[in-house]
Amino acid sequence: MPTFEYKALTTAGERVAGVLAGATESAVLAELESRRLTPITLREAKDGGFKLSLGQGVSSRRLAETYLQLADMLRAGVPLLRALRLLSKTKSSKRVGETFRVVADAVSEGEDLADAMAAHPRVFKRTHVAVVRAGERGGFLEDAFARLGSYVTNQAELRSKLIGSMMYPGVIVSIFVVILVVLFTVFIPKFKPMFERLDDIPALSAAILAAGDAFREHGLVTFSVLAVVCIGVWWWARSERGKRAVSKAMTRAPVVGRLVRAVATGRFSRRPRRCCAP
């Protein structure tokens, strides 16, 4: 279903903006009229443009809090559409509010909640959508959101601990990189005349001297090439094929692989809670 971006005026004369899903432009105008909004501009959102922006700036902790809030409202007897509308009015996170506003509009049009969430893959992961879909079909949606909230919270805490523990190694690696740059640009060129007197230079020494010349004489080009290579590798690692290759490499790594396999096994074999039973 297409989505439309609008700018409108409220009855108090305030300017508001948002996104609505509708079959046609006339249906969106009728929805705006029912909300007592006077449209100023209305245009169809480009495919992927708005969904991409929704995925930016949504933290895991904020998403976990939203899941828990939704679970509490459903347990209190609040209808699903009403709960989604309430979450769309949140002031603490504009991105989350906009996301749930679009999801609520899709649900009001008769779409399943899981399908509406799946339309925003940068906000809701596939595992989250799968849990919600199971909760919808099994009749335990509030428990599914409660479990999701706890799961995402634990993931965020674990990620924070890992980042904190990696701060010291990151500083060490940064210092090491700076030392290497200084070596290749300052010290190694000073030894170049001595090696040029030799008739047969070892291959490793020749490679080191060539790297030193590249850093010293073509530093900007060298750093640009390295940056492009790093960005290319990072982009490839985010693709489906790259994710599989990285996961396979991580599980087979000499030291880290054992830890990765243990964590994956623990997640797979963890016994589910009774609260999630239908």
> Looking at the predicted structure, is the pLDDT value of residue 54 above 50?
no
> Looking at the predicted structure, is the pLDDT value of residue 14 above 70?
yes
Q: Specify the range with the lowest mean pLDDT, choosing from 78-87, 213-222, 234-243.
A: 213-222
Domain 52-164 matching CATH 1.20.81.30: the answer reads yes
Please state the domain extents for the chain: 3-45, 52-164, 180-217, 220-253
> Looking at the predicted structure, is the pLDDT value of residue 277 above 60?
no
Write down the pLDDT at residue 7. 79
CB 153 within 8 A of CB 64: yes
Q: What confidence tier does 175 reach under pLDDT thresholds 50, 70, 90?
A: very high
Whole-angstrom Cα distance, residue 136 to residue 131? 9
Whole-angstrom Cα distance, residue 117 to residue 97? 13
What mean pLDDT, rounded, does the chain reach? 78
Write down the pLDDT at residue 46. 56
CB 184 within 8 A of CB 178: no
Please list, in sequence order, all residues whose beta carbon lies within 8 angstroms of the beta carbon of residue 236, skipping any fewer than 6 positions away. Answer: 242
Please, what is the Cα angle at 172 between 171 and 175, to 5 degrees? 85
Residue tagged 């399908």 (tokens): 115
Residue 18: Cβ within 10 Å count: 18
